[in-house]
Amino acid sequence: MLASGRRVYSIGERNSKMRITAGYIPNIGETKFDKKILKFQDLEVELPLLTLEQMQRVIDTVKRESAEILKSLSVSTVVDIIGYVTEQFLDRSSSYRQQAEKLLPIVTGYDEEVIRLGLTSFLKTFRKHELQRFLVEDLGNPLLLDHFQPRAKGGFSKAIGPELITHVWAGNVPALPIWSFVSGLLVKAGNIGKVSSSEPLFAGWFAKALAEAEPSLANCFAVVWWKGGDEKREKMIFEKSNLVIGYGNNETLKALKKQVPITTRFLPFGHKVSFGIISKSALDAHKAWRIAHQAALDVIRYDQQGCYSPHLFYVQKGGKVSPVEFARLIAGELENFEKRYPRRKLSMEESVALASWRQKEEMSTFTETGKEVLGTSTHQWTVVFEEEEKVFTASPLNRVIRVISFEKLEDILPYIKPYRSFLQTIGMAATPKELFHWAELLANVGVTRITALGKMTSPEAGWHHDGRFNLLDLIQMVDIESSAIVDSEQFAPYVD
């Protein structure tokens, strides 16, 4: 009936509210801002809500200071600073880490242990030596970011980061904004990030820790919030940016793109579908259990909310452990994990969606032979097994996984292919020969990352996010052609 708008039904309200401030504003000569309060259970998060004029000053400040200060630092110094800050967030005795462990579970709803493990595995990617990997991976010679470097073809080149990158972050996967924020810092750009209402904290903490670690950088970045779809504001900010990095579903990205002028580049990262493929050669009694364990880990990490999280597992027939037995093994593992790492408490919307999805699946077992729906009566997780199901379908997530048997990979490819622009990660368990053969086939239908089961949610440093480059996509190259150098020789004072 007459329900207006979308609401999240939270159950029970307690009186004692904790309030914290979030976001990060550089010094723009004033400290009084309007406030936006976001409410999460017992926690209120207060974010500065800037007027357009204040926003304008933030933009000017960040542009100016990053040009003067950040761009004057060597890339190795920048790496040192980011690496140092990362270590602080990895150190469980640091106040930053403790704050994150305490507050992120409240804000995102994920279990404390899930957050703790997730943060560590994620942040490891930004330690000093991994940052070096980012640089080498994309640039070969990181000094390109500091000075003109000789090129093999002749001439010299230098990589220049943008004056200003604006990041529009989304979703509730904790700390995820750091990917693009760190990438922006590595190319010495000024960075302004907009946090999402569902995880407004981490990026601001990271900015604050950076400023503490290297006070001269304090005005080189900002972490702000505005209501998504604020067209006037978005237009204004995007016009001043050289690059806008947007996250979200295609609707959101479309709306953002509309505000981006032709002179500003736009890098959209849309929602993605990932899945697993398990070869029969991995399915003997001994190995199958371990693989099921790894597969279940990929499912429970952030309850499949990541773009790299699996929606389903394709399991090959003919192994010692059959696909349906494998489905049961995953079910067993999910049940075990549930005790130690319980699922996030779901909103009423999610609960209903999940319950009705599960019941619909149960109903369909009446007409589809071989199909099985495994789960407990409390719906903490669900495994659906289907025999050679020809359809590629998304999971409602939150620990719901489909296991589908197959004979040959070639049989399932046609069903995956239509989703080309949405495919991302494959978690694979297969022989080396299969791995490379299948990788070829999957690459052709649009998959951009193949990893081991259990690693789906932890991409390596320097991975190609959605097939793209972390740093190369941000910079522009400046070439000094050899002709200019040769020519210049004749004007040297010491010319003979």
What radius of gyration, in Å, describes the C-alpha atoms of the chain?
A: 25
Kindly state the helix (H) or strand (E) to which residue 8 belongs, with its residue range: none
Our CB check for another protein shows the closer of 95 and 359 to be 359
Our CB check for another protein shows the closer of 66 and 304 to be 304
| Site for another protein contains 135 (CB under 8 A) | no
Our CB check for another protein shows the closer of 174 and 323 to be 174
Kindly state the helix (H) or strand (E) to which residue 220 belongs, with its residue range: none
DSSP bridge pairs for 403: 313, 385
Strand ranges across the sheet with 149-150 = 149-150, 156-160, 476-480
Our CB check for another protein shows the closer of 423 and 430 to be 423
| Helix, strand, or coil (residue 160) | strand
Cα 318 vs. chain centroid, distance in angstroms? Answer: 36
Q: Quick one: tokens of 145?
A: 């970011």
Our CB check for another protein shows the closer of 15 and 263 to be 15
Rounded-to-integer distance, Cα 122 and Cα 470, Å: 16
Q: Quick one: tokens of 233?
A: 């504001």
Q: In this chain, which of 23, 306, 319, 427 binds another protein, going by CB under 8 A?
A: 306
Rounded-to-integer distance, Cα 263 and Cα 240, Å: 10
Rounded-to-integer distance, Cα 392 and Cα 410, Å: 14
**Which residues, 24 to 43, sit near another protein by CB under 8 A?**
none
| Site for another protein contains 269 (CB under 8 A) | yes
Parallel/antiparallel/unpaired status of strands 372-375 and 34-40 = unpaired
**Which residues, 372 to 431, sit near another protein by CB under 8 A?**
377-380, 393-397, 418-419, 422
Q: Which stretch binds another protein (CB under 8 A): 146-154, 159-167, 214-222, 348-356?
A: 348-356
Tokens 């990053």 appear where?
66
Our CB check for another protein shows the closer of 3 and 262 to be 3
Our CB check for another protein shows the closer of 249 and 444 to be 249
Rounded-to-integer distance, Cα 157 and Cα 141, Å: 11
Least distance between another protein and beta carbon 402 (Å): 12
Q: Which stretch binds another protein (CB under 8 A): 5-13, 68-76, 139-147, 183-191?
A: 5-13
Q: Quick one: tokens of 386?
A: 């289907």
| Helix, strand, or coil (residue 322) | coil
Least distance between another protein and beta carbon 114 (Å): 13
Q: In this chain, which of 38, 49, 267, 346 binds another protein, going by CB under 8 A?
A: 346
Q: In this chain, which of 67, 106, 218, 353 binds another protein, going by CB under 8 A?
A: 353
- Alpha-carbon separation of residue 242 from 166, 218, 261, 409 (angstroms): 8, 21, 10, 43
Least distance between another protein and beta carbon 169 (Å): 10
Least distance between another protein and beta carbon 184 (Å): 18
Q: In this chain, which of 180, 305, 316, 470 binds another protein, going by CB under 8 A?
A: 305
DSSP bridge pairs for 29: none
Q: Exposure of 53 by Cβ count < 10 A (0-12 exposed, 13-18 middle, 19+ buried)?
A: exposed
| Site for another protein contains 11 (CB under 8 A) | yes
Q: In this chain, which of 198, 216, 281, 476 binds another protein, going by CB under 8 A?
A: 198
CB 399 within 8 Å of CB 343: yes
275 CB neighbour count, 10 Å cutoff: 27
Q: In this chain, which of 2, 152, 262, 495 binds another protein, going by CB under 8 A?
A: 2
Least distance between another protein and beta carbon 11 (Å): 6
Our CB check for another protein shows the closer of 23 and 246 to be 246
CA pseudo-torsion sign 210, 216, 219, 221: negative
Our CB check for another protein shows the closer of 139 and 456 to be 456
Tokens 């207060």 appear where?
46
Our CB check for another protein shows the closer of 59 and 354 to be 354
Q: Quick one: tokens of 53?
A: 């004029």
Q: In this chain, which of 302, 337, 385, 406 binds another protein, going by CB under 8 A?
A: 302
Least distance between another protein and beta carbon 480 (Å): 40
Our CB check for another protein shows the closer of 120 and 380 to be 380
Q: In this chain, which of 350, 387, 388, 460 binds another protein, going by CB under 8 A?
A: 350
Our CB check for another protein shows the closer of 40 and 430 to be 40
| Helix, strand, or coil (residue 382) | strand
**Which residues, 241 to 260, sit near another protein by CB under 8 A?**
247, 249-250
Q: Which stretch binds another protein (CB under 8 A): 30-38, 42-50, 124-132, 171-179?
A: 171-179
Parallel/antiparallel/unpaired status of strands 382-386 and 372-375 = antiparallel
| Helix, strand, or coil (residue 193) | strand
Q: Which stretch binds another protein (CB under 8 A): 59-67, 172-180, 221-229, 238-246?
A: 172-180
DSSP letter, residue 462 = T
| Site for another protein contains 14 (CB under 8 A) | no
| Site for another protein contains 328 (CB under 8 A) | no
| Site for another protein contains 12 (CB under 8 A) | yes
Tokens 């002709």 appear where?
483
First to last CA, the chain: 90
**What residues line the site for another protein (CB under 8 A)?**
1-7, 9, 11-12, 170-173, 176, 198, 247, 249-250, 269, 271-274, 302, 304-307, 309, 311, 346-357, 359-360, 362-367, 377-380, 393-397, 418-419, 422
